[in-house]
Amino acid sequence: MSMLQSPGDIESVPLKASIVSTTATRKGSRLKPWHWAPYVFISPFFILFAVFGLFPLLFSLVTAFTAFDPYAGLASMKFVGMENFSFAWGDEWFWKSLWNTLWLGFVSGAPQHFVAIPLAYFIHLGFKRWRNAMLGAYFLPYITSTVAIALIFTTLFSTDFGVINVAIGWLHQLPLIGGLFPAENVNWLGKREYVKPAVAMVVFWRYVGFNTVLYLAALQTIPKDLYEAATMDGATRWQQFRYITLPLLKPMMFFGVTLSVIGGLQLFEEPFVLAGIRGGTDQAAMTTAMYMYRTAFEFNEWGTASAISWMLFICIAVLTWITNKAFARGGMDH
């Protein structure tokens, strides 16, 4: 027997269906665990970056425009405008430290690439079985503790018993080239004219292996067909290196030189542990990062130190831009 429905019952069916559909949609719109779980997993990085990266960056920018005594608390902050930048701009020690930084960055950085490129090419061609062992030997100084490196080279640079002075004394006794070397022992870390070369040698020794690894990785991506075709055409090893290897290494050269520019202008550890916080005699090896450290912790001028840090940042940005333009003009994109 069929049951008759009233018109009101028939009209209520679509209404109930819409209510059920809306409820199901609301339940379906709720975030499932697999929707928000990835953000929970990556949140530690963003929290650490915000606390130890973004906050110090913004705080130093604010401090650069204030007179700030950290021992008196945040209440001592007083807005001084561009006074800190003006003081640093007219500070003789700032310009001296910047010159020392540029000198050390260029003298220690440029030879790294002039040595690392042919060295990586030699390892790439001459070592097949022992390549990893060679790379490990050259990469070892990069991962060695700076304090250990300083102790070793302080002993090597010793005036009376250092191996370097012993070798120079032995070379001075040779008949033909002996006149090129001094007869007396060199006070590497005590005289103004020798401190910067000594620090530059340590920086070069430490980072040349890192650049060698970079260039060797780039060499392994060059197709062997290019060298085989060049050999069939009668090209020598030098011609292959000049017309195939070097042009294809330009992207990695740009990357390596950019890292050298940034790292050279931020140089702190090597001159600090070798020459002391004052940079040796007459501040000969005091870099801008060291002077910024002294301004903050020795002179208690935190606002000026922050201003110096941002001026150094501008120098790094300008030199990086110049490096980019130089490699782009040289055909890096091709």
For residue 115, pLDDT over 60 is answered with: yes
The tokens describing 175, both together, are 């008949």
pLDDT tens string 214-259: 999 999 999 989 988 988 988 888 898 889 999 999 999 999 999 9
**What does the pLDDT read at residue 280?**
87
Tally Cβ neighbours within 10 Å of residue 82.
11
**Mean pLDDT across 323-334:** 73
* Cα 79 from chain centroid (whole Å): 32
For residue 330, pLDDT over 70 is answered with: no
Q: What is the mean pLDDT of the chain?
A: 85
**What does the pLDDT read at residue 328?**
83
**What does the pLDDT read at residue 186?**
87
- Assess contact for 13 and 20: CB atoms under 8 A: no
Judged by phi (left if over 0) then psi (alpha if -120 to 50, else beta), residue 61 lies in: alpha
169: pLDDT confidence band, cut at 50, 70 and 90? confident
For residue 20, pLDDT over 50 is answered with: no
**Mean pLDDT across 258-287:** 91
For residue 329, pLDDT over 90 is answered with: no
| Residue 29 identity | S
What is the C-alpha to C-alpha distance for residues 100 and 260, in angstroms, rounded to an integer? 16
**Mean pLDDT across 48-64:** 92
Domains of the chain: 90-329 (1.10.3720.10)
What is the C-alpha to C-alpha distance for residues 214 and 316, in angstroms, rounded to an integer? 22
The tokens describing 212, both together, are 């060698």
24: pLDDT confidence band, cut at 50, 70 and 90? very low
For residue 32, pLDDT over 90 is answered with: no
